[in-house]
Amino acid sequence: MGVGGCLALPWRCLVVLCLRLLFLVPAGVPVRSGDATFPKAMDNVTVRQGESATLRCTVDDRVTRVAWLNRSTILYAGNDKWSIDNRVVILSNTKTQYSIKIHNVDVYDEGPYTCSVQTDNHPKTSRVHLIVQVPPQIVNISSDITVNEGSSVTLMCLAFGRPEPTVTWRHLSGKGQGFVSEDEYLEITGITREQSGEYECSAVNDVAVPDVRKVKVTVNYPPYISNAKNTGASVGQKGILQCEASAVPVAEFQWFKEDTRLANGLEGVRIESKGRLSTLTFFNVSEKDYGNYTCVATNKLGNTNASIILYGRCPVYLQ
Ligand SMILES: *[C@@H]1O[C@H](CO)[C@@H](O)[C@H](O)[C@H]1NC(C)=O
Ligand SMILES: *[C@@H]1O[C@H](CO)[C@@H](O)[C@H](O)[C@H]1NC(C)=O
Ligand SMILES: *[C@@H]1O[C@H](CO)[C@@H](O)[C@H](O)[C@H]1NC(C)=O
Ligand SMILES: *[C@@H]1O[C@H](CO)[C@@H](O)[C@H](O)[C@H]1NC(C)=O
Ligand SMILES: *[C@@H]1O[C@H](CO)[C@@H](O)[C@H](O)[C@H]1NC(C)=O
Ligand SMILES: *[C@@H]1O[C@H](CO)[C@@H](O)[C@H](O)[C@H]1NC(C)=O
């Protein structure tokens, strides 16, 4: 009688099943690879999540009963399916081989599977471990972040995979581009402007290509004027004063002559600021333009200024 035929008679069926179970897995007999030669199950089976796993058990014609178990749960007994999982199918039940297949393997399928056979009234078992691999995957990573210079920053990169992936951080914009952390967390105390830029998190296991993601760290700092040179110009010619400041966020510029702020477009001057550079242009320099100018660079973290002299120079034709 097949197990399937029992379904209409639950009570009696249970008893029958229990008896069968006792044949196959007698109480007190630990489930382990007892007989080294027989039954012969394969070595451990390693598959990736989503793939199929085939569990094979070699038998011979002395064998009277066969079953495959997941831990202590019977999946198949002979040709009878006990598992309600439709991913589990029987592949072969012949005089030499008894195999089942698990489709679309998932991580919770990992564990010991037992081939149980009965030969000449002696139950024997053989165990195989199903090992499920999962490619590395970054599941949670810090967002791009903006901080002020001197503050402390912690970047986080959480990854999943089987085997558990190794997580590392690298500073891409940094000199040498070496690893800055061999850990899921990257802590930077007292961050400097040189430590701004892109940080790359890699999650690596040997199942598939690493999962790599980037986080951008922006470090704010107050303006610093890097270039402001005194400049000569001759009367009637064009004169240009330049002021260069580095700052994050980018600086805004103002120009003063003594205490008077200069306005764009008035009195024959033009002020143009783009990125780090601001220029003050005199379209037609006259004597009164000569003097001491101040360039002020400001962002939300502070301001700084530099003095630039526009001085007279003899016209080219007089030199
Ligand atoms: C094996 O047993 C585990 C634990 O009970 C279960 O989560 C998993 O679905 C089972 N897998 C198969 C293929 O029966
Ligand atoms: C099979 O896998 C189990 C569990 O991971 C392990 O203990 C055992 O040593 C493995 N056996 C072989 C032959 O690799
Ligand atoms: C990522 O981690 C942070 C901090 O632990 C948590 O607040 C957030 O909810 C997590 N996001 C996701 C999508 O799991
Ligand atoms: C520059 O200014 C002087 C005096 O105001 C004027 O004579 C001259 O034509 C101007 N030159 C130009 C190019 O505008
Ligand atoms: C220009 O003015 C600044 C302050 O307004 C002053 O410190 C500096 O000495 C002046 N430069 C000259 C050459 O007079
Ligand atoms: C330039 O900087 C000095 C020193 O920080 C400050 O005293 C002065 O007021 C500044 N000048 C302007 C025009 O902002």
User: DSSP labels for 96-153?
Assistant: SEEEEEESS--GGG-EEEEEEEEETTEEEEEEEEEEEEEEEEEEEEPPPEEEETT--E
Which-ligand-closest: CA of 142? 3
Q: Which amino acid is at 149?
A: E
| E strand or H helix that includes residue 10 | helix 10-24
Cβ contact 217:155 at 8 Å:
yes
- Band of residue 163 on the pLDDT scale cut at 50, 70, 90: very high
Q: Is the pLDDT of residue 300 over 80?
A: yes
Q: What is the pLDDT of residue 27?
A: 34
CA distance 67 to 78: 6
Q: How far is the CA of 92 from the centre of ligand 1 (A)?
A: 21
Ligand minimally distant from the alpha carbon of residue 42: 2
Q: How confident is the model at residue 181 (pLDDT cuts 50, 70, 90)?
A: confident
CA atoms in the 13 A half-sphere facing the CB of 108: 1
Q: Among all ligands shown, which has an atom nearest to the Cα of 72? A: 1
Pocket of ligand 2 (CB under 6 A): 43-44, 129
Q: How confident is the model at residue 265 (pLDDT cuts 50, 70, 90)?
A: confident
Q: Where are the beta strands (DSSP E) in 192-237?
A: 197-204, 211-228, 231-233
The pLDDT of residue 25 = 42
pLDDT at residue 8 greater than cutoff 80: no
Distance 70 CA to ligand 1 centre (A): 6
What whole-number distance in Å separates Cα of residue 44 and Cα of residue 112? Answer: 9
Note the pLDDT of residue 177: 59
**Which tokens sit at 239?**
């004169």
Ligand 1-lining residues (CB < 6 angstroms): 70-71, 75, 83, 85, 88, 102, 108-109
Residue 30 has pLDDT above 50, yes or no: no
Q: What's the rounded Cα separation, in Å, for the pair 167 and 215?
A: 14
Atom 14 in ligand 2: which residue has the minimum CA distance? 44
Predicted confidence band at 26 (pLDDT cuts at 50, 70, 90)?
Answer: very low
Measured distance CA(46)–CA(36) in Å, rounded: 21
Which residue's alpha carbon is nearest to atom 4 within ligand 5?
A: 307
> Are 198 and 219 contacting, i.e. CB atoms less than 8 angstroms apart?
no
| Residue 101, Cβ density class (10 Å: 0-12 exposed, 13-18 middle, ≥19 buried) | middle
- Which pTM value belongs to this model? 0.74
Average pLDDT for residues 110-128, to the nearest whole number? 92
